[in-house]
Chain A
Amino acid sequence: MKSISCDVLVVGSGPAGLAAALEARQTGAQEVLLLERNDELGGILQQCIHTGFGLREFGQDLSGPEYAWRWIDQVHDAGLQVLSETMVLSVDATRRVVATSKALGMIEILPRALVLAMGCRERPRGALAIPGTRPAGVYTAGTAQRLVNIDGYMPGNRFVILGSGDIGMIMARRLTLEGAEVAAVCEILPYLSGLRRNLVQCIRDYDIPLHLCTTVTEVRGQDRVTSVVVSGVDADRRPLPGTEREIPCDTLLLSVGLVPENELTRMAGASMDAVTGGPRVNEGYATDIPGIFAAGNVVHVYDLVDDVSQAARIAGRSAARYACSTQAPTGPTVRLVAGENVRAVVPQLVHPAALEQESIALHMRVRTPIEAPVNLDLRLGERTLLSRRFRYVRPAEMLTLTLPQRLAGELAGATELSVHVRT
């Protein structure tokens, strides 16, 4: 088996992998190797032909492929090594990576630092246990997006979309533009799962019916879907008997959540956060396995690609520093804990010593929306160290709170900080 060593190995070339690899090189890592299982770089960006990417990174409203190519060009210009059609099969705690590659066969890679950037995957029907038959015509929104935008095939003519995730709403518009009919978008929650701008631009502008507090309770059809039954739900998301309504359709699209793809992370033995579904990381996006870092949606699911690129830069930088000097932040750490109406906080650990060097951005999501001004408080015990005001908070929109360097002294000696959202 061919054995390759390098300074930094990045697994996955979506927005996170591209930014991490490039940043690793710019931080001083000489040999940076980027692996991609597909035949081209860019990951899911390549099928996201809608705009909305790059407003912060490039000050422009770009499509997914345009955004990807801005990065891919830089990766090529920087002379990074790239292996596409290469899939990692295993990773261990010593960072020994085994991959299969169409060009090279089985390869072993022994990097000084490893960045995991595999992204996330969509929850399928089975995870929801929607009752009914098992006909053709039940797809995740992302699969439909790939079929339509990359392969050029329409997976159906009349759709019902379950879930108001961003990909689902974007596909509602896309399918409408391709001459299909979107009969309904159903969301089990009393509020939207995706971004408000997608509701306006993809649903309302196209007069697509959106039903909140509604879910699909049965799939019908033998060979192909012929209809779905939708029902209203109560406050505990249980279907309400008597509210069933049959909607004829040939396709059910699911946009019911994304799950960080962390099989390799688990294989390496990294500690996981049960709420985010990603590894527990520190301010440098280092996992608790020395030399293994995580970037982008493997850590937690982001809503904007620009945020992915920014966080991945930090991971790439940390990986390069580790590879070049085997340096990692040392000293005690402070745990970050989700308090009132906060679902999870990333990073989960912070070194006060690292805060002395630069500020640290904390990312979090609320559990329930509040459509009124709220405070996001960072607390040490009962004492509020930092507070930020938001006009509203929604689970779909990630909140960021930046720890300024000046707090480094306050954190010294602390073991736990908590964040809370309240009116």
Chain B
Amino acid sequence: MPDATYDVIIVGAGVVGAHIARQLSRYRLRTLLLDKAADVGDGTTKANTAIVHAGYDARPGSKKALFNVAGNAMFDQVCAELDVEFDRCGTYVVATSETDLATLQDLASRGRANGVTGLELISGEEMRRREPGLTEAATGALYAPTGGIVDPFALCFAAAENAVSNGVELALNTTVSRLLLEGNRVVGVDTNRGMFRSRWTIIAAGLHADDLMRTAGLEGLVIRPRKGEYFVLDRAARSQLRNVLFPCPTPVSKGIMVTPTIHGNILLGPTANDVDDKEDLGTTAAGLNETLTGALKLIPGLDPRLMIRSFTGLRATGSTGDFEISTPAERPGLLVLAGIESPGLTASPAIALHVVDMLREAGLTLQERPEYVPTRKGIPRFSLMTTAEQEALIAQDARYGRVVCRCETVTEGEVVAACHSPIPARTYDALKRRTRIGTGRCQGGFDLPLVLEIMAREYNVSPLEITQKGGASALVFRRTKEVGL
């Protein structure tokens, strides 16, 4: 393939694509990471339960089980290298009936078969001691000490930033319309910004994996979006919950859970409803009601008045029931990742390592770059610092002394830093995921005008050009005193 521009093109900059890009950036390769959205991690990565699963759910021998347990084991190191918040706080599955107790036994033995360590069955009484607000109906619980919670946005953009700092090219707002074929061989992609040719093309496109495969004549696999609706509660609710709690799982889902988030909120959800539309990110009254009812079954005292946001995520549920990770023999040059639904977030670092091995075995020459830097430092987080650290930071740059988001205590300095990070936060949502701005109880009401002004200044554009999430999502339309409409 002498005319290939890139060695590898990765379609999709979600958490899976980002980790693959990072692993590939260790080697002397020209890699392009593409995404149709205005920021990395804008699909399933941004709307999930943010749990690092222990690995007792998946069927032993499945890829889900294999990569879940392997990925879980990598989190301490990966999050330390990438400066991502992660808490291996342990997780619980709560039984509320005799049947549930049998399910816990099954989960425990499945977990042990999968290689999950430390699993422990505890009594309902002990569980209520650990979680005082727990339902009286609790009959027992499965404790998984290796489970945890993570910042899923950061896990993705940190890996992508690290990849970019190590030479990977990133093209956002780039929609792949089809795979390019020469004979049987996949030789790149066609996009809204032209064609890009490569020796290898990796589909890490979440919900759209099957659509892309179909453009290369690969039928069979179908991705069906499975909708999950969530509620976020204010930090003020944090005292109402101590632990990550799952109900007993059903055949379609792990059930509606209640969990603290790494940022100190409480997350309730998700529902599980198959839908047809891959863009159907709307919440519904019924779904939100189901979420709340489910959560109250576990913690009856949760205060619904502390809701600050609801959202929907779409799981990329594949028709095979397992992760599909393969190099289809009939389409050389193509590596497919599909059906990476839960525990995809947990599995992502391990999947990335495996993808590198697959490429090596398939003949891609991987020569280490001695200049590869595995670590990445995030922007300063004023609210997490000690007073002395805050003082030092303001002394360095007075903009860290100006708070622009009062609920989450985010400073102008952090906004500016996010505008100049390796993957600049070009949209309000990107900035939100980098800095936590607008994620508190006022949901951006206070900061938005200030942020528009700062972003416009830093990027030297008009506030009219700043969008919430790219495309036609402009935040303001025109100057006052101008005739519009």
Contact A224 B473 (CB under 8 A): yes
Which A residues are in CB contact (< 8 Å) with B446? 121, 143
Assess whether A131 is interfacial by the CB under 8 Å rule: yes
B467 and A136 contact, CB distance less than 8 A: yes
In the bound complex, residues from chain A placing their C-beta under 8 Å from that of B463 are: 151, 153
Task: Pick from B390, B401, B469 the residue with the most CB of A within 10 Å.
Answer: B401
Residues on A with C-beta less than 8 A from B195 are none
Instruction: Answer whether residue A246 sits at the interface, using C-beta atoms and an 8 A cutoff.
Output: no
Asked if A290 CB lies within 8 Å of chain B CBs, one says no
- A126 and B443 form a contact (CB under 8 A): yes
Contact with A along B399-424 (1 / 0, CB 8 A): 11111001001010000000000000
CB of A121 within 8 A of CB of B442, answer: yes
Chain B: CB-nearest residue to A101: B401
CA distance A277 to B470 in the complex (A): 38
Q: Which of B203-211, B251-259, B305-313, B341-349 contacts A (4 or more CB under 8 A)?
A: B305-313
A-B contacts, CB under 8 A, total:
160
Quick check: A218 and B406 within 8 Å, CB to CB?
no
Residues of chain B with a CB closer than 8 A to A131's CB: 282-285, 287-288, 310
Bound-state CA distance A142–B446 (Å) is 9
B-contact 0/1 string along A159-181, CB 8 Å cutoff: 00000000000000000001111
Interchain Cβ contacts under 8 Å between A and B, 5 examples: A105-B391, A127-B307, A146-B449, A153-B480, A180-B484
Whether A157 contacts B485 in the complex (CB less than 8 A), given A100-B394, A126-B443, A223-B469, comes out as yes
Minimum CB–CB distance from A47 to chain B (whole Å) comes to 9
Contact B485 A129 (CB under 8 A): no
Across the interface, A157 reaches (CB within 8 A) one of B400, B452, B468, B477, namely: B477
B323 at the interface (CB under 8 A from A): no
Cβ A239 vs Cβ B285 within 8 A: yes
Residues of B within 8 A of A (CB): 231-232, 279, 281-285, 287-288, 305, 307-311, 382, 387-388, 390-391, 394-395, 398-403, 406, 409, 411, 428, 441-446, 448-449, 452-453, 463-464, 467-485
Asked if A150 contacts B449 (CB within 8 A), the reply is: yes
Question: Which residues from 117 to 149 on chain A have a C-beta closer than 8 Å to any C-beta of chain B?
Answer: 121-122, 124-127, 129, 131-136, 139-140, 142-143, 146-148
Q: State the interface size on chain A (CB cutoff 8 A).
A: 54
Name the residue of chain A whose CB is nearest to the CB of B292. A129
Chain B: minimal CB distance from A43 (Å): 12
Q: Is A217 an interface residue (CB 8 A)?
A: yes
Residue with the highest number of chain B CB atoms closer than 10 Å, among A105, A140, A180, A220: A105
Contact A122 B394 (CB under 8 A): no
Say if the beta carbon of A260 comes within 8 Å of chain B: no
Residue among B391, B445, B452 making CB contact with A151, cutoff 8 Å: B452
Instruction: Out of A85, A148, A157, name the residue touching B484 (CB < 8 Å).
Output: A157
Task: Kindly state whether residue A242 has any CB partner on chain B within 8 Å.
Answer: no
Closest Cβ–Cβ distance, residue B226 to chain A (whole Å): 18
Kindly list the 8 A-B residue pairs having the minimum CB-CB distance in the complex, ordered from nearest.
Answer: A136-B468, A124-B443, A126-B309, A153-B476, A223-B473, A136-B473, A87-B403, A223-B472
CA distance A222 to B278 in the complex (A): 12
A143 to B402: give the CA distance in the assembly, Å: 19
A28 to B334, CA, bound (A): 80
Contacts of A156 in B (CB 8 A): 477
User: A250–B472 Cα gap in the complex (Å)?
Assistant: 11
> Is A200 at the interface (CB under 8 A from chain B)?
no
* Separation of A101 and B287 alpha carbons in the complex (Å): 44
Closest CB of chain B to A38's CB: distance in Å? 9
Whether A331 is near chain B, meaning CB under 8 Å from some CB there, is no
Partner of A106, one of B232, B391, B481, B483: B391
A124 near B471 (CB under 8 angstroms)? no
Chain A residues with CB under 8 A of B479: 152-154
Tell me, rounded to whole Å, the shortest Cβ–Cβ distance linking B427 to chain A.
Answer: 9
B449-A152 in contact (CB<8A): no
What residues of A have a CB within 8 angstroms of the CB of B477 in the complex?
Answer: 153-157, 250
Q: How far is the CA of A154 from the CA of B485 in the complex (A)?
A: 11
Known: A1-B391, A105-B401, A127-B307. A122 touches B406 (CB 8 A): no
Chain B residues with CB below 8 A from A178, complex form: 480-481
- Please give me the residue from chain A that is nearest to B442 by CB atom: A121
- A37 & B445 in contact (Cβ 8 Å cutoff): no
| Closest Cβ neighbor of B477 among chain A residues | A154
CB < 8 Å: which of B400, B403, B449 contacts A37? B403
Report if A151-B449 is in contact (Cβ < 8 Å); known contacts: A105-B394, A134-B281, A179-B484: yes
Docked Cα-Cα span, A143 to B406, in Å, equals 14
Tell whether A89 is near chain B: CB-to-CB under 8 Å: yes
From residue A255, how far is it (CB to closest CB) to chain B in Å?
12
Nearest B residue to A39, CB-CB: B402
Q: How far is the CA of A219 from the CA of B309 in the complex (A)?
A: 14
Contact A154 B232, beta carbon cutoff 8 Å = no
Given contact pairs A100-B402, A121-B442, A131-B285, a sample of 6 additional A-B residue pairs in the complex whose CB atoms are under 8 Å apart = A126-B307, A132-B283, A136-B428, A142-B445, A147-B449, A178-B481
Q: How far is the CA of A155 from the CA of B445 in the complex (A)?
A: 13
Check A324 for interface membership: any CB of B closer than 8 A.
no
Among B311, B444, B464, the one with the most A-chain Cβ atoms within 10 Å of its Cβ is B444
Q: CA–CA, A124 to B282, complex, Å? A: 18
Residue with the highest number of chain B CB atoms closer than 10 Å, among A132, A181, A217 = A132
Cα A360 to Cα B283 in complex, Å, equals 49
Residues 281-316 of chain A, each 1 if its beta carbon lies under 8 Å from chain B, else 0 = 000000000000000000000000000000000000
User: Residue A403 at the B interface, CB < 8 A?
Assistant: no
A102 lies within 8 A of chain B by Cβ: yes
CA distance A20 to B124 in the complex (A): 54
B474 touching A85 by the CB < 8 A rule?
no
**Smallest CB separation, B211 vs chain A (Å):** 17
Alpha-carbon separation in the docked complex, A105 to B398 (Å): 7
Chain B residues near A121 (CB, 8 Å)? 441-442, 445-446
Q: Which residues of A contact B484 (CB under 8 A)?
A: 154, 157, 179-180
Report the bound CA distance from A224 to B480 in whole Å: 20
Q: What residues on A are CB-neighbors of B442 within 8 Å?
A: 121-122, 124
Contact between A224 and B401 (Cβ–Cβ < 8 Å)? no
A134 interface neighbour in B311, B391, B448, B471, Cβ under 8 Å = B311
Q: Which residue of B lies closest to A153 (CB)?
A: B476
Q: How many angstroms from the CA of A151 to the CA of B308 in the assembled complex?
A: 26
CA distance A220 to B309 in the complex (A): 16
* B453 partner residues in chain A, CB cutoff 8 A: 151
Interface centre among B399, B474, B482 (most CB of A within 10 A): B474
- In the bound complex, CA of A127 to CA of B305 (Å): 7
* Complex contact A136–B469 (CB within 8 A): yes
Known: A126-B232, A132-B282. A143 touches B387 (CB 8 A): no
**Chain B residues, CB < 8 A from A127:** 305, 307-308
Q: How far is the CB of A150 from chain B (nearest CB, A)?
A: 7
Is A98 an interface residue when CB atoms closer than 8 A count as contact?
yes
